[in-house]
Amino acid sequence: MGEKFLCDATCHRLAKWLRFLGIDTETTSEYRTYPLLRMAEKEGRILLSRNKAFLKIENPQVYVLRSDFIFEELKDVIEHFGIKNPLLFTRCIRCNSILERVKKEEVKGRVPYFTFKHFDEFKVCPHCNKIYWQGSHYELIKKRLMKEGIWEILF
């Protein structure tokens, strides 16, 4: 799995879900066709977009999404690019940086008391300093992926 993606202004929610899966996915608010193509090419990324104008341009570095429903989009991308066994929760959902494990003591006072007391493993984004742990959101995301029929495609 070496694909790197660039989500344009039409599909920022998809980028968040790809990042949950640990897939290198940048976002941009750019919407103009040719600047997007140049950006994707320069960064070695596959451009993901809902913009039907890209259907007129034959370019293997562009993938036009066929749905407006986030989980159909996610499933489509996973199936089309053959994504298997992704490294879940290894990227920051805000900025796409790879998360780093930190000692529990390093997050004391930076997370809620209950969280600090009940969890031992934490990761931090080295770029934006967002702190992550495997709380209830982890299981909720897994359950949602199972409900949408995506989990069995991945694993």
Q: Which of 25, 136, 16, 134 is nearest to 71 (CA)?
A: 16
Three-state secondary-structure class, residue 14: helix
pLDDT digits (tens, 9 = 90+) for 43-68: 999 999 999 999 998 888 999 999 99
Question: Model confidence at 77, in pLDDT bands (50, 70, 90)?
Answer: very high
Give the angle 144-150-154 at the CA atoms, nearest 5°: 125
Structure confidence at residue 58 (pLDDT):
86
pTM listed for this prediction: 0.93
